[in-house]
Amino acid sequence: MKSEKEKFEFVYVENDGTVRELDNDEIEYLETEFETSDGARPYIKSNYDQLTPDKKILGFLHRSKVPKDIEIINTDLRYAEMRFPIGIYDTNKAIELPVGIYSIKVLGGWSVSVGNFSIELKNRENGKVITPKVTNWRIQSYELGERGKKIMSLDIPKRGIYLIEFKNQKDLKVKRSNLFLTRLFEKELPNKKLKIWIG
């Protein structure tokens, strides 16, 4: 007997073409009422092969429009999009990265202590693990309307899908300001809510 979640009318097409069942947060998102002009409305594909403006196949799709030869799977793996924030306590996250050198920034503030916080990216195809290097040249900027501070540099030698694992998250400490006097009176941002940005 199928659960209520499995009976939900929509599924999700990942960028590798696989189709999966939705989790409870995604179902709640799709059941939320949005104004027609609201940019936060979910993107729902009209057919399986439809691509986004940046030529990606991902998106929500009505269950009835999944091709007969494609299995709808149950998985906890979720794909992150490059240049969108990823919570440091998020699990089962994967990201597709082309060859290149990337900055990893922590969002929320400009006073940052990394400690033993680290990130590992494992290539799903060949199992090779890449560990970004902590940088001492910490450029501050604004990303997605938030304060961002570069904490690591990531060198991707081979295009692929990488599984993300965070370690020692409690060591990452962030305050909004990097001004000495302001920092003395500021509280650290809640560690559980910290996010990184890869770009």
Confidence bin at 139 (pLDDT 50/70/90) = very high
- pLDDT for 134 equals 95
Counting Cβ atoms within 10 Å, is residue 43 exposed (0-12), middle (13-18) or buried (19+)? exposed
- pLDDT for 14 equals 92
Q: Give residue-wise pLDDT tens across range 51-110.
A: 998 898 999 999 999 999 999 999 988 888 877 899 999 999 999 999 999 999 999 999
- pLDDT for 184 equals 77
Of the listed ranges 32-41, 71-80, 184-193, the least confidently predicted one is: 32-41
Counting Cβ atoms within 10 Å, is residue 173 exposed (0-12), middle (13-18) or buried (19+)? middle
Give the H or E element holding residue 183.
helix 180-185
Confidence bin at 5 (pLDDT 50/70/90) = very low
Are 137 and 130 a contacting pair, CB within 8 Å? no
Predicted confidence (pLDDT) at residue 179 exceeds the cutoff of 90? no
Q: Where are the beta strands (DSSP E) in 30-132?
A: 59-62, 72-73, 78-80, 86-87, 93-97, 100-107, 111-113, 118-123, 129-130
Structure tokens that stand for 26 in this block: 């995604």
Structure tokens that stand for 154 in this block: 């990531």
Distance from C-alpha of 184 to C-alpha of 175, rounded to nearest angstrom: 10
Share of the chain above pLDDT 90, in %: 67
- pLDDT for 178 equals 85
Predicted confidence (pLDDT) at residue 4 exceeds the cutoff of 70? no
Confidence bin at 136 (pLDDT 50/70/90) = confident
Per-chain mean pLDDT for the chain: 90
Distance from C-alpha of 189 to C-alpha of 195, rounded to nearest angstrom: 11
- pLDDT for 23 equals 87
Counting Cβ atoms within 10 Å, is residue 151 exposed (0-12), middle (13-18) or buried (19+)? buried
- pLDDT for 32 equals 86
- pLDDT for 16 equals 87
Predicted confidence (pLDDT) at residue 6 exceeds the cutoff of 70? no
